[in-house]
Amino acid sequence: MSSIKSQFPASFKFQCQIPIRINDINYGGHVGNDRILLFAHEARIQFLNQLGYSELELGGTSLLLTRATIEIRKELFFGDTLWVSVAALNFTSKGFDLIYKMEREKQHEKELVAAAMTSMVCYDYQNKKMDILPLDVQEKLSH
């Protein structure tokens, strides 16, 4: 199994901050693995919004998440600030993958704490079927 980190692009053109809240902490005293996927969801929404899109309005189509993979590298704790970088890649005629690099600042340097990848397909919710990824959307997402 290959690492998500090995698929990171040379650069990410989007980044957001997510503070770690007390309700993100599990019984082990650190961020639970389920929260990593929630952080990816939050970053995805912010990424799409800054491009003028949403999951329900993506240039005339919508998005449906079909697969999610997470890798946890380090523990996160209450009070940490998570920096999530997002990039779109692996485009097909009906969708693409989003890759998430999750870092925290430690001693004035960022360290990788988690990585995630979600596979997104274009979906017509009214007709309940997959849809085509508009070329102008692909162009905007990939730059």
Q: Which residues of the chain have pLDDT under 70?
A: 1
pLDDT at 105: 86
Kindly tell me the burial class for residue 59, based on how many C-beta atoms sit within 10 Å of its own C-beta (0-12, 13-18, 19 or more). middle
Residues 6-25 pLDDT 10s: 999 999 989 999 999 999 99
- 3-state SS, residue 87: strand
Residues 105-114 pLDDT 10s: 888 899 999 9
Kindly tell me the burial class for residue 48, based on how many C-beta atoms sit within 10 Å of its own C-beta (0-12, 13-18, 19 or more). buried
Domains with residue ranges and CATH for the chain: 12-138 (3.10.129.10)
Residue 97: name the closest of 62, 65, 128, 125 by CA: 65
pLDDT at 24: 95
Pull the structure tokens for residue 8.
Answer: 């990171």
pLDDT at 1: 57
